[in-house]
Structure 1
Amino acid sequence: MADKRKIKIKVEDLTLIFGKRKQDALALLEKGVSKDEILKKTKCTVGVNKANFEIKEGEVFVIMGLSGSGKSTLIRCLNRLINPTAGKVFFDEHDITRESNKELLETRRTEMSMVFQKFGLLPHRTILENAAFGLEIRGEEKQKREERALEALETVGLKGYEYQYPSAMSGGMQQRVGLARALANDPEVLLMDEAFSALDPLIKADMQDELLAIQSKLHKTIVFITHDLDEAMKIGDRIAIMKDGVINQIGTAEDILTNPATEYVEAFVNKVDRKTIITAETLMFEKNTLVQMAKDGPRGAIRKMRTVAVDVLPVEDENRVFLGYVWLQDLLELEKEKETSIEKALKTNVPSVYKHYSVEDMLPLITGIKYPLAVIDEVSGKLLGLISQTSLIIEATRFGKKEISELKERANEM
């Protein structure tokens, strides 16, 4: 289904060059001269090289890459903390690169908020005062800004801590305050630059979960910068991978894992735990032959099996809800007994999955069965597709021996 959300941010040929001879460097860049060669000839560094992308309203768009890839430079161009050398940044169809300083200040105050890696809290102010600081700068009346700040603190799970000081809080809690301060402004766009990178792994995972929970309620447009591919895969609706100022690929986690666009991207994603990313939606085949409970008797079901050369088929009811499977051998027995209904042959105690199930979730379900896994709609119960055991086994061969052993242990426990 096509994504009908409007485009919130559009970036066209965005380029940033550091150094005194920017125009000379830009002219060389237009001719296709490499970043290293431009540095030699002009002593200028290409930070971002002709970035082009669109971000939909309510999307979590992750920009990732290693140190020096240009990701943090790029996000600072979106709100013009750094002025780009060339290119355009459209926010709701108006070009931020053409805004006056006064217009830009208003955009930053009302439409965009930024969360940095370093928390930047004011140590002599309470948590409530820190969360309300952006509104104070904006000139909001005290009662109103404190009400908004209290709502934001509750959203990030810090209700009851409003009169504490930053020194009494852990790193994770301080980062929640930073997030609350950004949310209190009620921005349309949230820019997050390595926001969780300074946290230890457990707190980092908690903050990722917290962000996803907040996003499910508020549906902000979020641009998130990270060097951690697992983090990008976890929180991003789409991911842009950068190297040397160039965007190598943009896509969903599965797009990037299954169809890496460059050798660099392929090398990057080889480190990712595929079994937690590849889902039922990717592996299923959709054009299924089904037996209809209300219409097909044993003979009709057998005919369908012979047409597609299989000995088991899924069954649906009159509302197209998945019921289970019937096997050829059982149908042949019913035919001999002159039965006109397939009800006695229907096996309903079969596992099914939703399209978001990962390979890790599905592998234990195929232990001891000899039929495909049904992928059903989470709401209607209708059959969306089938996943063959072969597909899952092929994915399993990509895992290490330790991972496969762990999955077998899980299967035995079920």
Structure 2
Amino acid sequence: MASGSKSIRRWSMANINDGGIKIQNLYKIFGPKAASHVAAVKNGLSKADLLQQTGHVLGLRDINLDIPAGSIQVIMGLSGSGKSTLIRHINRLIDPTAGEVLIGGVDVCKMKFRHLREFRRRQTAMVFQKFALLPHRNVLDNVIYGLEVCGVSRKESIGTAMRWVERVGLKGFEQRYPNQLSGGMQQRVGLARALAMDAPVLLMDEAYSALDPLIRMDMQTVLLDLQKEIRKTIVFITHDLDEALRLGDQIAILRDGCMVQQGTKQDIVLRPADEYVTNFVRQVNRGRVVSVDGVMSPLRPGAAVVGKPVAADMSIEEAISALTREHGVDQLIVMGQGNQPVGTVNLRQLASALVTPEEVSDAAPVFADERV
């Protein structure tokens, strides 16, 4: 039975080498004659007009998304934006009306049922908002459930499960049942169950939204710490911007089934695509989110390098503190890969990055009046 575990690992490596997930021109329309309305939607028929004229509901419109292997892709938006619909296309719990979902270069949307079943078992794992634990199974038996389905021997399953139970901080609780655990502990069981499968793609649909704030932050830390080692391709759904900014290597924002903006957290905060995104990020503490490489001046060839060296991912808040502690130093040297200097940043640049464009615009008339 050990061959089941080897098979899981082989599929995992193949997917990582193939480069992650690519979603292309994805449309989803809910209704009995969905396919017949794709052309109208492509030609600009709005969600409201589609519903009024045909009784069909537009779930997703022309979604294009590249998710690098081993990264955390956060998809966020308000209720009804299409984020849960989108994640369910990745393991084809929902069939698209049009478009492609490529994982390891294979279009999941064209898989026959037999291949799709194996794909779901071995290449994807899912962590749910409502935990989805089996109430009649204890912690250990919940964690080994997926391995049992794949035919892995109980001895090997228990060994794998025990490692993940310990990794998520539940050692000593193996024989407890779900109703004996707190919400945070139940979610740790769900995470351990998903990780035990060693699937290369981990799907997390608002996995932490039912948790209290402190427990939620603790679970975010658990995930980030684990990701440093496991390097899974994680698609994480949330409606919480702070959570998105903390977890995401990339963030995609949806509105009414459309992709409004995709980019790094710095792209989202510093260069919002429209008023909708601007409103999302208005209250963000930029000092903690934006790093110095997002506001630095690139190093000119042959330029003299003078200043205190700092890591490129140092936050603005940390950089201001570092700069003000150094007497006689007026700029920081930003160090990139290979510990090589890639740019410089001074206190004025750091301070300017803390101010939103709206605040600068509001302040402009005051300065104009003073010049008159």
The answer for the alignment partner of 1:212 in structure 2 is 224
The answer for the alignment partner of 2:73 in structure 1 is 61
1:379 deviation in Å? 8.2
Paired residue for 2:186, among 174, 181, 195? 174
* 3-state SS, counterpart of residue 290 of structure 2: coil
Looking at structure 2, the residues matched to 177 and 227 of structure 1 have their Cα atoms a distance apart, in angstroms, of 23
Looking at structure 2, the residues matched to 396 and 84 of structure 1 have their Cα atoms a distance apart, in angstroms, of 42
**Structure with the bigger percentage of helix:** 2
CA change 1:252–1:397 in 2 (3 A) is: closer
Paired residue for 1:366, among 286, 298, 323? 323
Deviations along 1:330-388, one digit per CA (max 9) or x if unpaired, are xxxxxxxxxxxxxxxxxxxxx54221111111222333745433235388654332211
The sequence identity of aligned pairs, in percent, is: 44
Residue type of the partner of 1:395? A
The answer for the alignment partner of 1:388 in structure 2 is 346
The answer for the alignment partner of 2:313 in structure 1 is 356
Residue type of the partner of 1:354? A
Looking at structure 1, the residues matched to 147 and 133 of structure 2 have their Cα atoms a distance apart, in angstroms, of 15
Paired residue for 1:253, among 245, 265, 268? 265
Paired residue for 2:38, among 22, 26, 47? 26
Decide whether the 8 Å contact of 2:75 with 2:252 is kept in 1. yes
2:151 matches 1:139? yes
Q: TM-score, normalised by structure 1?
A: 0.78
Matches within 5 A, 1:188-267: 188-267=200-279
1:90 deviation in Å? 1.0
Q: TM-score, normalised by structure 2?
A: 0.86
Decide whether the 8 Å contact of 1:372 with 1:386 is kept in 2. no
* 3-state SS, counterpart of residue 213 of structure 1: helix
Looking at structure 2, the residues matched to 382 and 240 of structure 1 have their Cα atoms a distance apart, in angstroms, of 31
Decide whether the 8 Å contact of 2:292 with 2:334 is kept in 1. no
1:83 deviation in Å? 1.1
Residue type of the partner of 2:263? G
Looking at structure 1, the residues matched to 18 and 271 of structure 2 have their Cα atoms a distance apart, in angstroms, of 26
The answer for the alignment partner of 1:80 in structure 2 is 92
Looking at structure 2, the residues matched to 160 and 373 of structure 1 have their Cα atoms a distance apart, in angstroms, of 51
Looking at structure 2, the residues matched to 284 and 41 of structure 1 have their Cα atoms a distance apart, in angstroms, of 51
1:27 deviation in Å? 2.7
Looking at structure 2, the residues matched to 5 and 144 of structure 1 have their Cα atoms a distance apart, in angstroms, of 26
Looking at structure 2, the residues matched to 127 and 171 of structure 1 have their Cα atoms a distance apart, in angstroms, of 13
Decide whether the 8 Å contact of 1:59 with 1:222 is kept in 2. yes
Q: Which moved more, 1:165-174 or 1:358-367?
A: 358-367
Looking at structure 1, the residues matched to 181 and 191 of structure 2 have their Cα atoms a distance apart, in angstroms, of 14
Q: Which moved more, 1:158-167 or 1:50-59?
A: 158-167
Deviations along 1:40-85, one digit per CA (max 9) or x if unpaired, are 1101110111111111110111111000000001101111111111
Structure whose alpha-carbon radius of gyration is higher = 1
Looking at structure 2, the residues matched to 236 and 207 of structure 1 have their Cα atoms a distance apart, in angstroms, of 14
Which 5+ residue runs of structure 2 have no aligned equivalent?
1-15, 358-372
Query: In the comparison of the two structures, how many residue pairs are matched?
Result: 340
Looking at structure 1, the residues matched to 310 and 335 of structure 2 have their Cα atoms a distance apart, in angstroms, of 9
Residue type of the partner of 1:154? E
Decide whether the 8 Å contact of 2:335 with 2:343 is kept in 1. no
Decide whether the 8 Å contact of 2:124 with 2:200 is kept in 1. yes
Alpha-carbon RMSD across the aligned residues, in angstroms, is 2.1
Which 5+ residue runs of structure 1 have no aligned equivalent?
292-312, 315-323, 325-350, 400-414
CA change 1:5–1:355 in 2 (3 A) is: farther
Residue type of the partner of 2:310? V
Matches within 5 A, 1:116-135: 116-135=128-147
Deviations along 1:173-197, one digit per CA (max 9) or x if unpaired, are 1101000000111101000000000
Residue type of the partner of 1:120? A
